[in-house]
Structure 1
Amino acid sequence: MPDLYIGLMSGTSVDSIDAVLVDFGSGDTLNPQIITALGHPIDPPLREAILALCAPGPSELDRAGQLDRQIGQAFADATNTLLARAGVEAGDITAIGSHGQTVRHRPPGTVTAPFSLQLGDPNTIAALTGITTVADFRRRDMALGGHGAPLMPAFHRAAFATDRNRAVVNIGGMANITELAADGAVYGYDTGPGNVLLDYWISLHQGQPFDRDGAWAASGRVQTELLNRLMADPYFSAKPPKSTGREIFNASWLEQAGAGLELAPADVQATLAEVTAASIAEAVHQFADGGELLVCGGGARNKDLLARLRRHLPTWSIACTGSYGIDADWLEAVGFAWLARQTLRGLPGNCPSVTGAREETVLGGVYPA
């Protein structure tokens, strides 16, 4: 019997809504099969409104409240389009797992009362799709003292753990690592910026939304002074658990580090790519001397980033997660479908060794159809 779930994800880059229809099957062994997947575009005005709200500084509750509904409507549209493409009825879907759109992440150590805020009203999604929706996955973990992030390590453990050392690196707007030790231990954290500054810099100088294949970064030369200034940020040397976002790694952060330096734009892009690769590689080195590195997220398509990782990690076998059964573009969305499944089954979805929470817990709230 099919066991169908939908996973929805919009990441820090705010470039589209990833939507996947997944069949988890009826057996005890986890073997998720992607039935249909799509990248549902976010309209430019909505994207600009999200990015404006993401910018550090005071937020406006009226804007946030309206965006919550509008993003929920966009997620519902993505779901209905996905179902139409798959030829599947809403009544056949057990639940939607919706991560929502993160607009502020203030983990422990940054504010008195840590919180993480994702917009995309699950009530709206459930009402407009007729499908039970599971959402708000981060805050229960934070209520137990955790960072509420990264959320994927528990899923990575279920999908990819083996008797060999493996690491799963997601290179989205931010980059995060899951360390799956051969002895069964699981660790993980956000390593720092992934694509967020690369996207910002090429948009600023070339009007492109992203650096296709990393070609522009590959044309430049890493500038040691800028690299050293960027890598001196305390976040990189902080001990896990740790998580981050645009609140730290943003245009102002880059401008402050580059103050007084006269650099060619392509060289800055190359240096930003090196920051992403070097911070990931440092996390991998701290984990193990060798093993299998599985890469997912938008950065998995960046040939320059992958080449930099291979130079930094010569003893590691590096491949995209598609080689291990789940397409790199859709892995996170599949993960949120899995988290919804865990919630409905009353099973934990967090990984305390990653987030720092006091205990395992069921994540998310359930919004019935």
Structure 2
Amino acid sequence: MLYLGLISGTSVDGIDTAIASFDGKPELIFGRTYAWQPQLKERLVTLGQQSATLTLDDIAELDVRIGAAFAEAAQRALADSGTQAKQITAIGSHGQTLRHRPHGEFPYTLQLGDPNTIAERTGIRVVADFRRRDVAAGGHGAPLLPALHAALLSSPDEDRAVLNLGGIANLTLLPKQAAQAAADRSHVRGFDTGPANGLMDAWCLRHTGHGFDRDGAFALSGRVDEVLLARLLDESWFALPPPKSTGRDQFHLGWLESKLAGNEIPQDVQSTLLMLSARSIADALRAAQPRTARVIACGGGVHNTALMSALAAMLPECIVESSAAHGIDPDFVEAMGFAWLAHATLQGLPGNLPSVSGASGPRILGGIYSA
């Protein structure tokens, strides 16, 4: 009963793969990240950063190209782990989010990565398109992994939070009751808090040529611009109550540029963006679960030591640590989550939590594409 999860997050820093078992407690068997083809990655980053005009032909071609890239990543994960395709019950594929607008008269969320292409090229059944059913039920379609976080990391002894530091940050709130009543997930809550790595990565790429700020060195070379930070935090989205979600189509370089005076030093902006992530996360956590004792972080931002230090400084009442402290590789929690969602779908079990997404009820998520 092995499942293979695939996701490329809002940072577009690679295609994460995870092979996991769900016989009993969820267990990660193998995890690895595979690089995007550079031209395709550049196009995806551009599309995520700003409004762009795409023809129907562009969208259809991108859908297949992304699906082919996901299929190749799956095949490489099988080869590198020594796993045969016949050992995999199903692939759970998130796809690549291009737009996420779960509000308005006709709410939508758009992930590309044709599951038919993945199934055809791997010979493995695929479960995909997880978010849209929750949106159709009045939810945000995000975050989708708090139930897995609860299964892996809740404790009857303390209030905890799981913090995913991807392009966008999101929190899963796990009060003691979530572990004490494991069959009842109504105590679990979760929501996006705003930017994590996405804005920092984009600004760093523009001014240094590097796709991310290793250890936060670029940010540490500057100083926080308190006036700019106040303008950034004044964004009305931060004041919205949960359920809430967002993406790079909202927090992008164009948004940042609209807040700049024009005479800022690039490294000071980077330092301010790091503080924006830390402050918005800390403020959201205190407001939603003020007695949190432990913050367990996962995602690429865990490797930004400056960001982790800033979070610890902003949350002195909490232990801030990587999920690695609990035996879970922080780089593959999300990919493992989409393997878990595929498992839930094939078992006929709902994958969303209405207490998190705001959906009108629990729903079985995704479509099944036969091998």
TM-score bracket relative to the smaller structure: over 0.9
Give the AA of the match of 1:118.
Q
One of 145, 166, 175 as aligned partner of 2:138:
145
Q: Is the 1:42–1:74 Cα contact (8 Å) retained in structure 2?
A: yes
Match of residue 81 from structure 2:
86
Q: Residues 72-129 of structure 1: CA distance to partner in whole angstroms, max 9, x if unpaired?
A: 0000000111111111110110000000000011112xx3200001000001101100
Q: CA deviation at 1:151?
A: 1.1
Q: CA deviation at 1:141?
A: 0.4
Match of residue 20 from structure 1:
18
Give the AA of the match of 1:141.
D
Q: CA deviation at 1:354?
A: 1.0
Q: Match of 2:339, SS?
A: helix
- Gaps spanning 5+ residues in structure 2: where? 179-186
Q: CA deviation at 1:57?
A: 4.2
Moved over 4 A (4+): none
Give the AA of the match of 2:19.
L
One of 140, 162, 183 as aligned partner of 2:155:
162
Match of residue 37 from structure 1:
31
Match of residue 133 from structure 1:
126
CA distance in 2, matches of 1:176, 1:290: 15
Give the AA of the match of 1:78.
A
- Gaps spanning 5+ residues in structure 1: where? none
Q: RMSD over aligned Cα, in angstroms?
A: 1.1
Q: Is the 1:165–1:288 Cα contact (8 Å) retained in structure 2?
A: no
Q: Match of 2:10, SS?
A: coil
CA distance in 1, matches of 2:216, 2:309: 10
Match of residue 68 from structure 2:
73
Match of residue 60 from structure 1:
55
Q: Is the 2:127–2:369 Cα contact (8 Å) retained in structure 1?
A: yes
Give the AA of the match of 1:152.
L
Q: Match of 2:33, SS?
A: strand
Q: Residues 291-325 of structure 1: CA distance to partner in whole angstroms, max 9, x if unpaired?
A: 11000101000100011001110010111111112
Give the AA of the match of 1:79.
A
Q: Match of 1:147, SS?
A: coil
One of 3, 15, 27 as aligned partner of 1:5:
3
Does 2:358 correspond to 1:366? no
Match of residue 279 from structure 1:
280
Give the AA of the match of 1:89.
Q
Q: Match of 1:338, SS?
A: helix
Match of residue 212 from structure 1:
214
Q: CA deviation at 1:259?
A: 2.6
CA distance in 2, matches of 1:121, 1:325: 33
One of 115, 123, 126 as aligned partner of 2:116:
123
Q: Residues 245-289 of structure 1: CA distance to partner in whole angstroms, max 9, x if unpaired?
A: 1221011111111135x2211111000000000011112212123
Distance verdict in 2 for CA 1:52–1:217, change over 3 Å: closer
Match of residue 316 from structure 1:
318
CA distance in 2, matches of 1:113, 1:154: 27
Q: Residues 215-256 of structure 1: CA distance to partner in whole angstroms, max 9, x if unpaired?
A: 111221111100000000001111111110122101111111
Match of residue 183 from structure 2:
none
Match of residue 259 from structure 1:
261
Give the AA of the match of 1:337.
A
CA distance in 2, matches of 1:139, 1:65: 18
Match of residue 334 from structure 1:
336
CA distance in 1, matches of 2:38, 2:98: 16
Give the AA of the match of 1:322.
A
TM-score (norm 1): 0.95
Q: Residues 194-205 of structure 1 correspond to what in structure 2 (within 5 A)?
A: 194-205=196-207
Q: CA deviation at 1:38?
A: 1.2
CA distance in 2, matches of 1:31, 1:339: 12
CA distance in 2, matches of 1:269, 1:139: 34
One of 41, 44, 50 as aligned partner of 2:44:
50
Q: CA deviation at 1:159?
A: 1.6
CA distance in 2, matches of 1:39, 1:152: 19
Q: Is the 1:53–1:64 Cα contact (8 Å) retained in structure 2?
A: no
One of 228, 231, 234 as aligned partner of 2:230:
228
Q: Match of 2:41, SS?
A: helix
Match of residue 347 from structure 2:
345
Q: CA deviation at 1:203?
A: 0.8
Q: Is the 2:20–2:26 Cα contact (8 Å) retained in structure 1?
A: no
Match of residue 182 from structure 1:
176
Match of residue 305 from structure 1:
307
